[in-house]
Amino acid sequence: MNIDADLLIQIIIFFTAIFVFTLLERFRPGFSINKKQDLLLNVFSLLIVIFAGEYLKALVSAGYKAVNLSALLSGNPFPDFPGPAKIVLAVLLTDCSLYWVHRAMHTKFLWRTHKYHHSIGQIWWLSGSRTSLVHLFLFAIPQIFIGYYLLRLTSAQALVPVCFGIVVNLWIHTNIWVNLGPLNRLLITPNYHRIHHGARGLGNKNLGFVLTIWDRMFGTYLDTQTTGKDFKLFPVPTKERLLAMILGI
């Protein structure tokens, strides 16, 4: 079986990140957890992200092609930007867009699409893969639009933000409590994202994924120094509606 070069790079990045974050969790754990708890569900969720995620991205792409989006954006200047500039723009625009999609998921109208992710009772790199099918679809809409239509990234250029996104999702759910010094004010850490999984209204805070600036600009920022480490998580129960939660309906 021939493996596409881009796919091979993604696989290497994925397993390298898993190796590094597993070591960090082993030698610098932020909290005492039992990784065997819900292990099968977490593995199943990861498989959903890997396989169903690709089909949903293809579905979004088909929708854009059906409305001839490329023609509608024919006067768009961004594709002529230098490659490095387009890659940086892809990360920034996608991060901002996903902040707003994520924020919308925390409204009554879209909460069902997202609450499977908030069924996590113990946060570590694998449990962060709990993502409903509708959640994956909604996230794919801005990702495909920005990368392949607005910026028209080449395959090589698109590989950079794709691999970056893989690492980010694993990173923010890693079971460590880390201090990045001054960078804490700019970059989202596992500490920062853990607050978002907290109880007592914390779920509406710290909605970003890469940069803290969107939370700061739009009123959802909460500093880890304010909460400390001892706040409780709020796992949504999965027993009664697990299938519906996985579907996101």
Quote the pLDDT of residue 229.
87
Range of the domain at 33: 5-176+236-247
In a domain, 65, yes or no: yes
- Rounded to two decimals, the pTM is 0.95
Residues 218-235: pLDDT tens digits?
Answer: 999 999 888 888 888 989
Report how far residue 210's alpha carbon sits from residue 236's, in angstroms, rounded to the nearest whole number. Answer: 24
Report how far residue 71's alpha carbon sits from residue 174's, in angstroms, rounded to the nearest whole number. Answer: 42
Overall number of domains in the chain:
1
In a domain, 231, yes or no: no
In a domain, 162, yes or no: yes
Give the other-Cβ count within 10 Å of 63's Cβ: 12
In a domain, 229, yes or no: no
- Which of the residue ranges 1-5, 69-73, 134-138, 237-241 would you say has the lowest mean pLDDT? 1-5
Mean pLDDT across the chain? 95
**CA-to-CA dists, residue 114 to 6, 136, 156, 206, 226, angstroms:** 29, 9, 31, 15, 26
3-state secondary structure of 157: helix
Residues 19-29: pLDDT tens digits?
Answer: 999 999 999 99
Please enumerate, as own/partner, the contacts of 102-105 that have beta carbons within 8 Å and a separation of 24 or more.
102/207, 102/208, 102/209, 103/207, 103/218, 103/220, 105/135, 105/138
In a domain, 169, yes or no: yes
Strands (E), 10-91: none
Nearest CA-CA partner of 141 in 212, 71, 81, 58:
58
Quote the pLDDT of residue 228.
85
In a domain, 54, yes or no: yes
In a domain, 170, yes or no: yes
Contact assessment for residue 207 and residue 99, using Cβ atoms and an 8 Å cutoff:
yes
In a domain, 192, yes or no: no
Q: What is the mean pLDDT of residues 147-157?
A: 96
Quote the pLDDT of residue 224.
87
Give the other-Cβ count within 10 Å of 82's Cβ: 8
